[in-house]
A and B are shown apart, each in its own frame.
Chain A
């Protein structure tokens, strides 16, 4: 009983002090600002790829026999929509990004292509897969996607070729693959 009275009196004291120092409008305004800020925070353009990079302990999103099911938020997963026809390692997991090679590699000017569907905007894009060359196989984020992939006698659509033709120093050695967009597929 005594403990409860002491608790009640403490709360009453805090409430009276707060009421004396702040107006209702100021309090509600600050609360509103906090709530709005909290709501908008996830929409700010922060780099989430670092968080995903930390979270990836192994290759994720690998395709199974049920087919390729694209997503549009995790570029380091095999099922990211741009990777629909990659057979190899994602440069994004090897020190590069979705569209840039890792340091010390050489970028091939030649590529195989595929049409990949982006579920984020319901559009299909032409992707020109470029290999980064001149180093041993990266080995991380190994993907075997074959959406629209054709045999070697249609080489422009074949992902089984070491696509290092034209890379600096004639390095015909595969390290990883990037997935730059050419444009919307007609």
Chain B
């Protein structure tokens, strides 16, 4: 089910008409804000133009549409850059508050952004909310209030998620007690905080199921109904306690494949579905010689997964232990079935996060927080194709739609 289909089906013109009516109604009210054209301005300020300025609309989303998130360094505001990855052209920007999530739905036709602001910059009354954007106009098509419970961390991709049918949005609460916030996007309303045990991240599966990863190394399958009532079932422990997993695994809502590297170079995989979690054989990424040469994964968003090619892309470099969040200059491409290294891409830049397009000629998108730049590579040959710089203060994550 595509909840915003009515919006796209009925056309933007209908929405535009409603907005125009709202604007006329607003214009008939006394002007209270300072945004009206001042009456004391000379005619030069509102002179008729020979040119006809317009507001652009982005082309329809495709597999190489990229969103780069710059949350700063725990700053109060964030920016999301919409980029045409085919040519590294900037299409537009979206504002968000503190440590927002970027959730792409309906094949990239809409973007839901759970966000947090305060009414006095960094103090005062906290307000958590979800804005839903049309990814062509970048206009808000829904604005949903939620309880002030978002778990504020350096942005972790899977601390909030859309359900596989885009009907619900789920977000994690940490304080005062662990819970999942359930939002009905179709009704555009918050439903309930659903209590959970000490588990983290949200990986959706069909028919109102979601999996979480728990402290003991197991997963928890949670089934929920439209009112937020849950049934919860733990899986077996799938990784040792001292194999520390990165905070940003790769997960495909389309296939249910979870790809989760550890800081010492193992990759744990699972296929998640309504019927449960199927854990796959653990991959040891590096050879003994590579381990001796100190090859280890590292970065903030260090892994991407291509569904159809069944390939894993892992950021790595030669590094000491406990440097797992520093950037890397290489990507190892690994066959997800056999675990074999297929190729190594030398990126030539200090890369913080990666993503891969899901088409049959995939591009690898690599963002550098140090350079505030998104670099684009041919994911097969590793050739650098293009780049775009000046992407805010410290852009750290990339997001792509899955078709």
Given known pairs A65-B318, A153-B215, A171-B123, the reply for A162 and B153 (CB within 8 Å) is yes
Question: Is the beta-carbon distance between B244 and A150 smaller than 8 angstroms?
Answer: yes
1/0 contact trace for B221-257 toward A, CB 8 Å? 0000000000000000000000011110000000000
Given known pairs A136-B76, A151-B244, A151-B245, the reply for A65 and B153 (CB within 8 Å) is no
Question: Is the beta-carbon distance between B246 and A151 smaller than 8 angstroms?
Answer: yes
Cα distance A173–B119 when bound, in Å? 12
Cα distance A134–B156 when bound, in Å? 22
Distance from A65 Cβ to chain B, minimum over Cβ atoms (Å) = 4
Interface of B, helix, strand, loop or mixed by DSSP:
loop
Say which residue of A67, A148, A152, A170 sits within 8 Å of B153 (CB atoms): A152
- The A-contacting residues of B in range 309-362, CB under 8 angstroms, are 317-326
Question: Is the beta-carbon distance between A144 and B122 smaller than 8 angstroms?
Answer: no
Question: Is the beta-carbon distance between A172 and B126 smaller than 8 angstroms?
Answer: yes
Segment among B10-18, B67-75, B271-279, B283-291 that sits at the interface with chain A: B67-75
Closest to A169 in B: B123
Cα distance A67–B319 when bound, in Å? 8
Closest to A131 in B: B74
Question: Is the beta-carbon distance between A136 and B322 smaller than 8 angstroms?
Answer: no
Distance from B189 Cβ to chain A, minimum over Cβ atoms (Å) = 24
Contact partners of B121 in chain A: CB under 8 A: 136
Q: Taking each of A136, A154, A171, A175, which has the highest tally of chain B beta carbons within 10 Å of its own beta carbon?
A: A136
Given known pairs A87-B325, A148-B322, the reply for A162 and B74 (CB within 8 Å) is yes
Given known pairs A151-B246, A173-B123, the reply for A162 and B318 (CB within 8 Å) is no
Question: Is the beta-carbon distance between B323 and A67 smaller than 8 angstroms?
Answer: yes
Does B152 make an interface contact (CB < 8 A)?
A: yes
Contact partners of A66 in chain B: CB under 8 A: 319-320, 323
Distance from B100 Cβ to chain A, minimum over Cβ atoms (Å) = 13
Does A75 make an interface contact (CB < 8 A)?
A: no
Say which residue of A63, A134, A135, A172 sits within 8 Å of B326 (CB atoms): A63
1/0 contact trace for A71-102 toward B, CB 8 Å? 00000000000000001110000000000000
Contact partners of B99 in chain A: CB under 8 A: 162
Given known pairs A135-B122, A154-B215, A172-B152, the reply for A65 and B247 (CB within 8 Å) is no
Question: Is the beta-carbon distance between B245 and A173 smaller than 8 angstroms?
Answer: no
Q: Taking each of B121, B199, B245, B323, which has the highest tally of chain A beta carbons within 10 Å of its own beta carbon?
A: B323
Contact partners of A154 in chain B: CB under 8 A: 215, 244
Cα distance A172–B127 when bound, in Å? 11
How many chain A residues touch B (Cβ–Cβ < 8 Å)?
A: 38
Does A117 make an interface contact (CB < 8 A)?
A: no
Contact partners of A150 in chain B: CB under 8 A: 244
Question: Is the beta-carbon distance between B123 and A149 smaller than 8 angstroms?
Answer: no
Cα distance A134–B244 when bound, in Å? 32
Contact partners of B306 in chain A: CB under 8 A: none
Cα distance A172–B74 when bound, in Å? 11
Distance from B98 Cβ to chain A, minimum over Cβ atoms (Å) = 7
Question: Is the beta-carbon distance between A162 and B247 smaller than 8 angstroms?
Answer: no
Contact partners of A147 in chain B: CB under 8 A: 322
1/0 contact trace for B140-178 toward A, CB 8 Å? 000000000001111010000000000000000011000
Does B90 make an interface contact (CB < 8 A)?
A: no
Question: Is the beta-carbon distance between A65 and B321 smaller than 8 angstroms?
Answer: no
Cα distance A146–B325 when bound, in Å? 7
Does B298 make an interface contact (CB < 8 A)?
A: yes
Closest to A175 in B: B122
Distance from B371 Cβ to chain A, minimum over Cβ atoms (Å) = 16
Contact partners of B247 in chain A: CB under 8 A: 151-152, 160
Distance from A185 Cβ to chain B, minimum over Cβ atoms (Å) = 16
Does B200 make an interface contact (CB < 8 A)?
A: yes
Does B214 make an interface contact (CB < 8 A)?
A: yes
Given known pairs A65-B323, A136-B75, A162-B74, the reply for A173 and B215 (CB within 8 Å) is no
Closest to B328 in A: A65
Does A137 make an interface contact (CB < 8 A)?
A: yes
Contact partners of A89 in chain B: CB under 8 A: 73
4 new A-B contacts, CB < 8 A, other than A65-B298, A146-B323, A172-B152, are A65-B319, A146-B324, A158-B153, A161-B153
18 pairs, A vs B, C-beta closer than 8 Å: A65-B298, A67-B319, A88-B74, A134-B123, A136-B121, A137-B76, A146-B324, A146-B326, A147-B322, A148-B322, A150-B244, A152-B153, A154-B244, A158-B153, A162-B74, A171-B118, A173-B76, A173-B118
